Amino acid sequence: MLQRRIDDHAPPSRESMREAQDIFYKHLKRVGLKHTDQRDTILRTFLETRDHLSTDELFRLVRKKDAKIGFTTVYRTLKLLAECGLASAVPFPDGMARYEHQFNRRNHHHMVCTECDASVEFFSPEVNKLEEEIGRKYHFDATRHNFQIYGICEDCRKRTRRPI
């Protein structure tokens, strides 16, 4: 699924990769699970992209590195990554479960174009403040939120000659 960026990014450095693996393997140890090559490969592949990947899309990327890794293992690993905070589900309107990595990454939200399905990330500390305020106001122990804006992206607007 197309994704447009408004910020730069470099692939993760060797050491930040280590750092993330550390988080993952500490989590595995904590819940009594084991370290495997498959999990390593899947984590590395996942961190190398900033896309919003479906399980199948990640599976296809993983398969390029190790064709013997099965879909089921990718599916299960993605769940583990979400458990320890390295991944989080992004609810896009295509209905499929999609994940993005949350390692060394600036907190952001998404605008989704209803015309071309592209998503654009944006940054808004105000949204985070709102979560807090509303939680306090309604006696709700808020831990996270989800905010997405739907509409027509700049490109689609230009394409259809319909200025804002």
Partner DNA sequence: AATGAAAATGAAAATCATTTTCATTTAGGG
Partner DNA sequence: CCCTAAATGAAAATGATTTTCATTTTCATT
Q: Is 20 exposed, middle or buried (0-12, 13-18, 19+ CB in 10 A)?
A: buried
Tell me which of Mn ion, Zn ion, DNA, none is bound by residue 89, counting a contact when its beta carbon lies within the kind-specific cut-off of 5 to 8 angstroms. Answer: none
Question: What residues between 42 and 61 interact with Zn ion by CB under 5 A?
Answer: none
Closest CA relative to residue 27, chosen from 92, 75, 65, 83: 83
Binding site for a second copy (CB under 8 A): 6, 91, 93, 111, 113-114, 120, 122, 124, 126-127, 130-131, 134-135, 137-154, 157, 164
Tell me how far CA of residue 75 lies from CA of 2, 11, 132, 133, in angstroms.
22, 23, 33, 36
User: Is residue 100 at the binding interface for Mn ion, with CB under 5 A as the rule?
Assistant: yes
Among 12, 24, 39, 119, binds DNA (CB under 7 A): 39
| Tokens linked to 133 | 């305020």
Instruction: Give me the least distance between CB of 160 and DNA, in Å please.
Output: 25
Q: How far is CA 154 from the centre of its chain?
A: 23
- Residue closer to Zn ion (CB basis): 4 or 35: 4
Sites of contact with Mn ion (CB under 5 A):
100, 121
